[in-house]
Amino acid sequence: MRSAAGGDSLCGMPEPKSIASEADVRAVLAANDAFYRAFVAGDTLRMDLVWSGHDGDTCIHPGAEAIIGPINVQNSWRRMFGSGERLSIRVSELRVDIYGTTAKVHLVENVSRGAGAPLVARVACTNLFLRTEDGWRMTLHHGALISDDHEPELEPDPDTSDFN
């Protein structure tokens, strides 16, 4: 886990610095953990409590279109959990950035069909949280399947700006 320290972007503009206390980072990680605990348990009530309930709540499951709005997001999880299949998810490559009342968590989900089962998928995820009166609540979950032949991206060379 790490918080962004700021730096230069590929476009040459300075990136904003993450200004987060350790307590904020721990709280965001707890909210992220609550999401994954609800996910692997197939618990719709706990999943509903993770989300902000705002009109802009968005969930993009791997290979699917955006699901927008709290009712639609809740229904997508109900359909997924209704299948009865329970997944095991190990999170890796975790990064947390917090900017005021918004927190961004990037990670990789290592998915298997139960504890100890072989890995069936790796999913690159971005989870976005909002600080609310009730604590940090999810407003975006976006998962993108990582192909088997994926090679990790290298750190950008600061001396190049080639976008070809």
Domains of the chain (ranges; CATH) run 18-145 (3.10.450.50)
Tens-digit pLDDT profile for residues 76-90? 999 999 988 888 999
Mean pLDDT of 47-63: 97
Residue 121 has pLDDT above 90, yes or no: yes
pLDDT at 6: 40
Burial of 117 (0-12, 13-18, 19+ CB in 10 A): exposed
Residue 51 has pLDDT above 70, yes or no: yes
- Give me the half-sphere count of Cα atoms (radius 13 Å) on the Cβ side of residue 157: 5
The Cβ of residue 97 has, within 10 Å, a number of other Cβ atoms equal to 21
pLDDT at 1: 39
> In the beta sheet, which residues pair with residue 104?
97, 128
The Cβ of residue 86 has, within 10 Å, a number of other Cβ atoms equal to 13
Contact between 161 and 151 under an 8 Å Cβ cutoff? The reply is: no
Is 96 strand, coil or helix? strand
Residue 119 has pLDDT above 70, yes or no: yes
Is 65 strand, coil or helix? coil
Contact between 103 and 24 under an 8 Å Cβ cutoff? The reply is: yes
pLDDT at 150: 54
Spell out where the chain has E strands. Answer: 7-8, 14-15, 58-60, 67-68, 88-99, 102-112, 119-132, 135-145
| Residue 155 identity (one-letter amino acid) | E
Burial of 14 (0-12, 13-18, 19+ CB in 10 A): exposed
Residue 100 has pLDDT above 60, yes or no: yes
Please give the radius of gyration of the chain, using alpha carbons only, rounded to the nearest integer.
17
pLDDT at 118: 86
Residue 57 has pLDDT above 60, yes or no: yes
Kindly indicate the confidence band of residue 133, based on its pLDDT and cuts at 50, 70 and 90: very high
How far apart are the C-alpha atoms of 35 and 59, rounded to whole Å?
Answer: 12
Mean pLDDT of 6-21: 51
pLDDT at 58: 98
